[in-house]
Amino acid sequence: MTSTSYFSPEVRTWTVSEAPFHPGKQYHTETITTIGNGYMGLRGSFEEGYPNEIVSTLIHGVYNQAPEEIVPDLVNLPNPLAIQIMVDGEQFHMQKGSVLGFRRALDLKTALLTRGILWRNSKGSIVQITFERFASLEHEHVLAQRVTVRALWGDPEIEIAAAIDADRLSAGANHWQVLEKGHDGTASIHCTGTTNQSNYQIAVAATVQCDHGELVYEPLDNLTPALRAKFSLKQDQGASLVKLTAIHSNRDTADPLVAAKNTLNTASKIGYDELYNGHQAEWAKYWYDSDIEIDGDEIAQRALRFCLYHVLIAAPRHDDRVSIGAKTLSGPGYKGHVFWDTELFMLPPLTLTQPKIAKNLLMYRYHNLQGARNKAQEAGYEGAMFPWESTDTGEETTPRWTSPYPDTPRIRIWTGDNEQHISTDIAYATLQYWHWSGDEDFFVNCGAEIVLDTAVFWGSRVEYNRTLDRYELSQQIGPDEYHENVDNSAFTNSMVRWHLRQALQLVDWLKQTHPQKAEALLARLKIDAARLELWQRVIDKMYIPRDPQTGLYEQFDGFFKLHKVDLTHWTPKVHNMDAIMGHEPTQEMGFIKQADIVMLMALLGEDAGTLEQRQRNWDYYYPLCDHGSSLSPSTHAWVAARLGLDDEAYYMFMYAANIDLEDLKGNVRDGIHAAASGGLWEAAVWGFAGLTLDGDNYKFDPNLPKHWKSMKFRFWHKGKQHTVTLTAE
């Protein structure tokens, strides 16, 4: 990128940049400049370190429950980014010497993070330091870094130490039973480790090439092996050091260290420039499929790309036993756990633009059915009841207690027990994938089992109310988590009824098209005639709290009677209402955290009511919604666009778009809000473009924001890729 192109629209709609350095935004910038390739994710922390930074190197699937913890964490690996630079014996650091200039830029197009610094040491030598890093999309175990030091003033002595740092892993949990450093002469350095509960083995190994000086092995610290190059530069002369890192775990190979050294061998032969070319070519393909191009709104354009980028760098491309956590691989938030965020917010864009990845994510749920069955059984139910928070085992890993603030009483977390709609959300995504991809092989062999065994769970979970001759569900948590353990959540009851309907149709279809497989599966899942009859009865008699005249849903039993707060004056609010009011008092109040009835309308569309009825529900619930969850605005944008509420649709769209870019919720520090990111695609495609897919047909009913001149995107449907350009017309 030449300097004259910084500001061009081609570049700026593909760039997240910072110039000069804003220390006050350290954590925000660390998160939003995360790089990754679906295998690993690395925050944008500085190579040389910075006080209180959150350095985070995460790979999918490597969880561990530390002895002092109540749930597993995605484990922070030894930091492979570490590079120290000495100029005339003085260590380069953003807080030492003089930073005469600074620019950090993430190129979303190629997932390349660069940082340029002009730095003067106390002796007056001035150097230009340029760091580049990318996690190869072509070779997913490879992280590539290059640092260039150019003498601008003076003839400085330079020393560069490229290290792997296992001494300064994230504070808090201790995940390691073994953590060791090693090296292979000056050919490579490495850190290896074994987690103390889950027994995962990992290896991080690096090789270094420098066009100046001789390499010497000299560790920086106890667990920080390093290779150093020492040389002097004449003014105007530059030197480059390339560091290639390989990361493996015993999730992907028998001996991670051997694999890492092999990977390094291959990568070294390819070299930095060719690695980058291959990486760039892969990204070009990635974006060809997944980009949405907007003419007439650069702000929305950049935000969409930013959000899609973060979903794409976190999506496992070659591993069907892992999924995307709510905070991707970009930070410690939610400990890397997987929620419904994946199925309802990230899967739709992936199913339509990267169907192979979508399949991987669904296979993760399929492989983890046993965990879901265990959970159902422990709770006294049949079938599969997916965990609200999921890790590598598929067991429920939601913590039962939390202490949001020191000095306040701990709070019981009920979502793991009662936010049961996730089982239906997973079924919903599975059916979508089947219907849109036409991937019958997956569906017949895996997908159907997910949909049916979760239906079995619901058949055993619903409660029959003899007095009123109806089926009910007590003690649920709907999407609106401000209200816990409610009875007859309109969202949950409606979705369960829908789920069972789908299950019945699926059984018929399976019997007709794959009789043998049907027989075996139904036998295995114990789906007999009696169970099918039960499902039909539940469908017929499921209680949905809804006024039959007006179509207005009551979010759950008693919601209408809760104390209402007019949120229209609660602007400009950043904090969540439950944080403001307290967890317990919030239960008694009528404001809601996020799209709940509105979510129902998003998922079921016309099945949730006529246009007039849906508008009535919007009018009732929109003013009560606090958007305390980052999942809320995109869903509202989608529904508002469908209801023709143009101002609200665009407002909610841009709200979702800026949650991470502008840190609207003040907590990007902990990681990317991945559901808001995926949700933005949904708001654009389901909401503005009005795409619906039905059998072999698809259609558009566009309602673009009025200043958008056009919107172009691609999607796969039944094995064919379509390119669509919608214009304002």
Q: Report the residue number, 549 or 568, with the smaller CB distance to a copy of itself.
A: 568
Q: Report the residue number, 463 or 647, with the smaller CB distance to a copy of itself.
A: 647
Q: Report the residue number, 62 or 147, with the smaller CB distance to a copy of itself.
A: 147
CA 702, CA 345: separation in Å to the nearest integer? 21
CA 276, CA 106: separation in Å to the nearest integer? 15
Q: Report the residue number, 179 or 239, with the smaller CB distance to a copy of itself.
A: 239
Residue 682 CB, nearest approach to a copy of itself (Å): 18
Query: Is the peptide bond between 20 and the residue preceding it cis, with omega within 30 degrees of 0?
Result: yes
Residue 655 CB, nearest approach to a copy of itself (Å): 7
Task: Find the helix or strand (DSSP H, E) in which 396 lies.
Answer: none
Q: Report the 10 Å Cβ neighbour count for 313.
A: 27
User: How far, CA to CA in Å, does 564 sit from each of 485, 551, 573, 622, 633?
Assistant: 19, 21, 17, 13, 21
| Cα angle 574, 575, 578; round to 5 | 145
Per 3-state DSSP, what percentage of the chain is helix, strand, and coil (rounded to 5)? 40, 25, 35
CB neighbour list of residue 606: distance below 8 Å, 6 or more residues apart: none
User: What sign does the CA torsion over 575, 580, 585, 591 have?
Assistant: negative
Q: Which member of 282, 395, 481, 554 is catalytic? A: 481
Q: Report the residue number, 526 or 707, with the smaller CB distance to a copy of itself.
A: 707
Which string of b and e fits 324-337 if b means at least 16 CB within 10 Å?
A: bbbbbbbbbbbbbb
Q: Report the residue number, 530 or 574, with the smaller CB distance to a copy of itself.
A: 574
Q: Are the CB atoms for 627 and 654 separated by under 8 Å? A: no
Active site residue 481: yes
Query: Is the peptide bond between 572 and the residue preceding it cis, with omega within 30 degrees of 0?
Result: yes
Residue 155 CB, nearest approach to a copy of itself (Å): 15
Residue 407 CB, nearest approach to a copy of itself (Å): 14
| Two tokens, residue 118 | 């002009």
Residue 586 CB, nearest approach to a copy of itself (Å): 12
Question: Which residues form the interface with a copy of itself (CB under 8 A)?
Answer: 2-9, 12, 19-20, 22-25, 98, 100-103, 116-118, 120, 126, 128, 150, 152-153, 236, 238, 297-299, 565-566, 569-575, 580-581, 647-648, 650-651, 653-655, 658, 662-664, 666, 707
- HSE (side-chain half, CA atoms, 13 Å) at 146: 16
- Taking alpha carbons only, the member of 318, 596, 585 closest to residue 479 is 596
Q: Report the residue number, 519 or 647, with the smaller CB distance to a copy of itself.
A: 647
Residue 127 CB, nearest approach to a copy of itself (Å): 10
Q: Report the residue number, 24 or 719, with the smaller CB distance to a copy of itself.
A: 24
- Tokens 């009913």 correspond to what residue? 701
CA 598, CA 581: separation in Å to the nearest integer? 23
Residue 561 CB, nearest approach to a copy of itself (Å): 19
Residue 243 CB, nearest approach to a copy of itself (Å): 22
CB neighbour list of residue 162: distance below 8 Å, 6 or more residues apart: 82, 83, 145, 206, 208, 226, 227, 228, 241, 243
By annotation, the residues acting in catalysis are 481
